[in-house]
Amino acid sequence: MKRIVASAFVVFALSATPAHASTFKCQQWMPMAMRVGFKKSDLKDLDRIMYRESRCAPGAKHYNKRNGKVWSTDKGLMQVNDYSWVTYLRNLKIIKSSEDLLHPETNLRAAKALYDYSVKRGYNRWHQWRTFGGGSYAK
């Protein structure tokens, strides 16, 4: 009897999990993304980009080099570039310094601001995360 009850509980627990939750690689960050303003319809693309950019790691950093010297750093979950966006994000009072981009919620707020910036200017909403060569956004 115990074995049957335990099996039934496992089946119930698995079926109670939302079907879409298992498709997100960075699912732990999706509730926070919605809190900072992303819509449910954005989550699939957001998840793909986040996974591609940082593998869901809030402390991820990528150093961009020119002539062998670091000139900028992409930071956090969404790899927001400090050189390109630090002044804009400071003016919006989202960050005080580029190191703030290593905090998950701040990084997602910054990403939402860049998303809104793109939409306001008529670009693809994921314009800031396009890849060179193929023009791909969320792949």
CATH code of the domain containing 116: 1.10.530.10
| pLDDT per residue as tens digits for the range 122-132 | 999 999 999 76
Rounded to two decimals, the pTM is 0.80
Based on the structure, what is the number of domains in the chain? 1
In a domain, 29, yes or no: yes
DSSP states along 85-138: HHHHHHHTTS-SSGGGGGSHHHHHHHHHHHHHHHHHTTS-TTGGGPPTTT--S-
In a domain, 139, yes or no: no
| Averaged pLDDT for residues 59-72 | 97
Residue 113 has pLDDT above 50, yes or no: yes
In a domain, 138, yes or no: no
In a domain, 3, yes or no: no
Identify the domain containing residue 70 by its residue range: 22-129
Distance CA 82, CA 74 (A): 6
In a domain, 108, yes or no: yes
Q: How far is CA 112 from the centre of its chain?
A: 9
In a domain, 7, yes or no: no
Distance CA 65, CA 63 (A): 6
What is the length of the chain? 139
Per-residue pLDDT at 16: 39
In a domain, 100, yes or no: yes
In a domain, 114, yes or no: yes
Per-residue pLDDT at 43: 98
